[in-house]
Amino acid sequence: MNQKIVFLSLLVSFLAFWQVQAQDASFELQSRGAEQKHFVSIKGEPIQDGQKYPYIFSNLSQYKIKIRPPRNQTVIMKILDKDGKQVAMNLNPRSRKYIHTIIYNCRETGMYYLMFEIVK
């Protein structure tokens, strides 16, 4: 009986680990207003390569974007303003250092787009 329980426990643990490792890329968007101390979760969703995700950002608010890349892959994220101009990126082009979480300080209320590229 104990051997069956141990085997089932190991099987469930392996399946849970495999599922986490096989997940697609995803992101979580959080915001914090000028007078708030803590970030509040707005949205979390899977990333589709090359797709733009539209959001309205508010002046004097901060937005935290956490990226969960697939194993052994990098996800490059750009924040674009309403005109398509890049205002933030999670990859430093000089050092090629990649950041999983960025905080964007919004200076103008309007439509912004999160755009992702999965690099294999």
Yes or no: say if 50 and 117 are a contact pair by the CB < 8 Å rule. yes
Residue scoring higher pLDDT (23 or 38): 38
Could you tell me the pTM of the whole model? Answer: 0.74
Q: Tell me what pLDDT residue 20 has.
A: 39
- The rounded distance, in Å, linking the Cα atoms of 40 and 47 is 20
Pairing of strands 74-80, 110-119: antiparallel
Q: What pLDDT, on the 0 to 100 scale, is given for residue 119?
A: 85
How is the chain split into domains, by residue range? 2-119
Place of tokens 């089932």: 8
112, pLDDT greater than 60: yes
Instruction: Please compute the mean of the pLDDT values over residues 93-112 and round it to a whole number.
Output: 92
Sequence-distant (≥ 6) Cβ neighbours of residue 9 within 8 angstroms: none
Span between the terminal Cα atoms of the chain, in Å: 45
Looking at residue 3, what is its pLDDT? 53
Model confidence over 35-86: pLDDT tens digits?
888 888 888 889 888 889 999 999 999 999 999 988 888 899 999 999 999 9
Residue 57 CB burial class (10 angstroms; 0-12, 13-18, ≥19): buried
Residue 10: the pLDDT is 40
